[in-house]
Amino acid sequence: MILSSNSFNMGQIPWPNTLSLMITIAILCNDVHLSSAKFQISPTNNSIVSRLINTYNTSNLYCFGSNCSNTDGCRNESSDTSAIWQTKIRQEFREWVYRVKDQNTKGGFNRSVPVKVDMYAEVRSTIIVDKSGNADYATIQAAIDAVPLFNTRRITIFVSAGVYQEKIVVPECKPFITLQGAGSAVTKIVWHDTASTVDGRGSFIGTFQSASVAINAPNFIARGITFKNSASLNHQGVAPGQAVALQVSGDMTAFYDCHFIGCQDTLYDRQGRHYFRDCYIEGSIDFIFGDGRSLYKDCELHATGSGWLTAQKRQDPTENTGFSFVNCRVTGAGLFYLGRAWGPFSRVVFLFSFIENIITPSGWDDWGDPSRDRTVFYGQYRCSGPGANVKDRVAWSYALTEAEAEPFMDANFIDGHDWLPCL
């Protein structure tokens, strides 16, 4: 974050108010560069908040975090300039300032927990999407945009059967959304970007932005939906490069009975605590990757082509991340590794899982860096099937004991006792 001294005239604002305002800006804008924003903050006429809102783009203020920009989800929040909307914006911002100040005096602010302010009691708890137009909205993104900023109660978006060809972002400032489909066989979200897709400025969008669906909000749930990146293998069976079907960065998120379909980099399990139950994940190269702390329970990993099932990016021994696959099925065709060490402390375990005969006997790959052999944590416990034999696995992987496997066996691995019962 950059705060230019030429951009701020704090006048005679008392220090506590100045501190509160600066903390608020820092939290809301996070890594937004504000050096070009010309704030003229004045204590007169009780106009600190009003001048701030009138001077700076409100969508940038409310979309805190690097994954919540004006083009990444809150794009419609500042377009309504009616008096009613402006009043709500100001009221919400004042409440935010006071709560941040209160959190600061009590010892800090946890950004993973949304602020508990119910500013929109009149908002309905259910929204219906039908592409035919015979519902509240015809597109899923429009329904997400309708959810209030910093929503504090569960809002369910029912998505009728159909193929929704749209690129979707759930920004960080839209927590507590449930996306409920009519079933993964009939409700599908499909887009086709790859890392080499060119944006309006002539630059490649990269892997992160290639996601058909991006979940940046905490406390998100999806049920009965297929998330697909339709960039497919060419006629020679070559993957189109990185082409993400779903990117999830929101903490405390859960997916039930969902399908994730792609080739390379299908599921970007980027960061946060995540729970996948009864899901189907299909891909080729590194098709489950990222630095999340995630439990995959009763899921099927279906491999196509040849490559690696996982690429986990744990960077530090103190980092409590990793992928745990419990009672899963590994199916498909080709020759695969269970995982490779994207991060030097990569951590992946398979427990009680059935593995078809598609896994190379060595099982794991150190990404061509032998120093990682001493730092990664790869293991199996009581797996079955022709691809589960640990006899010829690399020496630096583990045939886990019950004590070693126990921390990864259930939802305690993702602190699920704190948040899963609440979803």
**273-330 residue pLDDT tens:** 999 999 999 999 999 999 999 999 999 999 998 999 999 999 999 999 999 999 999 9
* Same domain as 218, residue 258: yes
Amino acid 234: pLDDT: 56
CATH number, domain of 175, equals 2.160.20.10
Provide the domain count of the chain.
2
* Same domain as 275, residue 162: yes
Three-point CA angle 160, 166, 167, nearest 5°: 125
* Same domain as 90, residue 32: yes
- Identity (one letter) of the amino acid at 28? L
Contacts of 211 (CB under 8 A, 6+ apart): 167, 193, 229, 244, 245, 246, 247, 268
Last residue of a domain, one of 71, 105, 139: 105
Last residue of a domain, one of 54, 71, 105: 105
Name the nearest CA neighbour of 223 among 254, 252, 268, 246.
254
In a domain, 83, yes or no: yes
| Residue 72 bears catalytic tag | no
In a domain, 168, yes or no: yes
Is 70 exceeded by the pLDDT of residue 256? yes
How many Cβ atoms are within 10 Å of 285's Cβ, its own excluded? 22
* Same domain as 131, residue 67: no
Amino acid 133: pLDDT: 87
pLDDT digits (tens, 9 = 90+) for 170-223: 999 999 999 999 999 999 999 999 999 999 999 999 999 999 999 999 999 999
pLDDT digits (tens, 9 = 90+) for 219-244: 999 999 999 999 975 545 566 899 99
In a domain, 113, yes or no: no
In a domain, 114, yes or no: no
Rounded CA-CA distance 294/313 in Å is 12
Tokens of 369: 């860096």
Percent of the chain topping pLDDT 70? 69
Is 80 exceeded by the pLDDT of residue 30? no
* Same domain as 349, residue 201: yes
* Same domain as 71, residue 158: no
The catalytic position among 286, 291, 365, 366 is 286
In a domain, 368, yes or no: yes
Cα dihedral sign, 56-62-64-68:
negative
| Residue 286 bears catalytic tag | yes
pTM of the full predicted structure? Answer: 0.73
pLDDT digits (tens, 9 = 90+) for 110-144: 334 433 333 333 456 999 999 998 999 999 999 99
* Same domain as 61, residue 158: no
pLDDT digits (tens, 9 = 90+) for 44-92: 334 433 333 333 333 333 333 334 444 444 434 444 444 454 455 445 5
User: What is the domain range of residue 226?
Assistant: 127-422
Chain center to CA of 129: 22
Tokens of 77: 């929040």
Kindly report the average pLDDT of the chain as a whole number.
Answer: 79
* SS3 state of residue 387: coil
Rounded CA-CA distance 287/27 in Å is 33
* DSSP track, 194-223: -TT-B-TTS-B-HHHHT-SEEE-SSS-EEE
Is 50 exceeded by the pLDDT of residue 331? yes
Q: Could you tell me where the beta strands, DSSP code E, fall in 298-361?
A: 300-303, 307-308, 310-312, 322-326, 329-332, 336-337, 339-341, 347-351, 354-355
Amino acid 112: pLDDT: 43
* Same domain as 337, residue 195: yes
Amino acid 239: pLDDT: 66
In a domain, 44, yes or no: yes
In a domain, 373, yes or no: yes
In a domain, 3, yes or no: no
* Same domain as 132, residue 100: no
* Same domain as 360, residue 245: yes
* Same domain as 150, residue 258: yes
Last residue of a domain, one of 105, 136, 160: 105
The catalytic position among 265, 269, 291, 365 is 265
Amino acid 332: pLDDT: 97
* Same domain as 138, residue 92: no
